[in-house]
Every structure is written in C-alpha cells, then in structure tokens.
Amino acid sequence: MCRHAAWLGPARSLTTLISDPEHGLLRQSYAPRLQKYGTVNADGFGFGWYDGSRPVRYRRTVPVWADANLPGLAAAARSTCLIAAVRSATAGMPIEETATAPFADGPWLLSHNGRVGREAVRPLAADAESVCDSAWLAAAVFTRLRDGLPLADVLPAVVGAAAEGDPEARLNLLVTGGSHLAAVAWGDTLFTHLEEGVLVASEPLDDRPGWRAVPDRSLLLASPDGVSVTPID
C-alpha cells in the first residue's frame, strides 16, 4: 500500500508533505507507522503542484530518498495545492513512471493507495497509460470527469463499480483539480489536519494534535470553504 498526501490552502512548498514534518512522506517511504500492506514504499514516487491553474508533475521509479535533485525541487515548488505519493508496487505491477502516481488528465491529478483486480477496472475505461491497476482506476475517473460529471459523483460511482467487480479491492483515492481536493477512504487509513488550510494523508505526517481519522468507506471533499465527509453507500 502506498502512502499519499495533499495540501490545499495558502501557498506552501512541497517540503510540507515530504521532508518538513517528522513523519512526512520521506520518512513514510521507509518507516510508515500505520501501513498494513507492505513495509517500505521504495518503488518510486511522484509529486504534483499547480503553476497557476496548470498542473505540473514529477514522477520517478527510484525511492524518494535516492533522488539527489529532490530537496531543491521540492523547496522551490510552491503552490496552494500540492499532492504527493510514495509507491509500494502491488505484486505483478510494472515499475515504470507511467504506473506511478500522480496520474494526470487536463487539470486533474490523482493518486491511488491500494489494489484492485484489473478485470474489475478495465471495463470502466477505454485505455490507460500503464497496465498498472491504479492507472486503469485513474482512467476510469478521468473519463467521467472529462464528460463533465462532478467529482463528488464520479468518485463514489467508480469506487462502487470497482468494488462490485472486486469485493476485496482497496480503493483509497486522492484527487485534485487545483482549487479543491477529494479523497476516498476505502480499505485503508486516511487522516485530515485542519489548520490555515487542510492536510490530507494516508497517515499523520507528524505528532501534532488535531489529526482526525476519516471513517472507512467515505468521501472527503475539501475546498477553501471547508471540509465535508460523507459515507459512500
């Protein structure tokens, strides 16, 4: 199970998610505290941020601690919306940049924490950039967003269809369009921390008070107006 995190609020640098907090994604890549599936997240990493309304991405297949350019890049990448993921590839999945989150389409960036049988997601999209289960799941979400459906409807619909095809699926998703965030808790942990904006993460990035667990099988929506959590039936 990979680990992912996002920030929505006043502009911050990507180090907010990676190296500033004691248990940021850098530490979680080799010593996650709540990970139930897999022990390290060393099969690659990816980050996304926004330059105005345009998403920018950086994906690698090396462990996050092994990229010597990363500290400088992460400190310089500042945005009101940030997303980051470290990967523990599911058995049988390729280790390649195109299989690494965040996946992108237009203004959208998406990360998946979990696994799903490909037979359950391939019918939900025409094509995907990688054979990886997460790439197919991302394609299913992007296809519907491109059709103009709202994110708050698309995520429960795709998760519901994927879980119907694979009842064992773990489908934690993190999606942003730059001005808002959405996340699904389905089979793995998810936490939020409200401050001058909102942090969303698979597990707390530090030991400050205020981290709240999002109940399993729910949808979190965050915008500058606030955060809501609703059950997914």
* CA dist., res. 176 & res. 111, Å (int): 9
Identify the active-site residue in 1, 2, 74, 182.
Answer: 2
Q: Give the H/E segment covering residue 25.
A: helix 25-30
Binding of ligand GLN by 118 (CB under 6 A): no
Greatest distance between any 2 Cα atoms in the chain: 44
Q: Which is nearer to ligand GLN, 50 or 108 (CB)?
A: 108
Residue whose CB is less far from ligand GLN, 113 or 189: 113
Segment interacting with ligand GLN, rule: CB under 6 A, options 9-17, 82-90, 119-127, 175-183: 82-90
Among 112, 118, 144, 193, binds ligand GLN (CB under 6 A): 112
Structure tokens of 84? 């980051």
Return the residues of window 163-192 that contact ligand GLN according to CB under 6 A: none
Residues 25-44 that bind ligand GLN (CB under 6 A): 38
CA distances, 122 to each of 78, 79, 101, 127, 171 (Å): 35, 33, 18, 8, 15
- Whether 2 is catalytic is yes
205 closest CA partner among 12, 9, 1, 16: 16
Q: Which of 15, 79, 113, 143 binds ligand GLN (CB under 6 A)?
A: 113
- Cα–Cα dist 7/46, whole Å: 15
Choosing from 82, 93, 104, 201, the residue that interacts with ligand GLN (CB under 6 A) is: 93
Residues of this chain that bind ligand GLN (CB under 6 A): 1-2, 38, 87-90, 93, 99, 112-115, 132-134
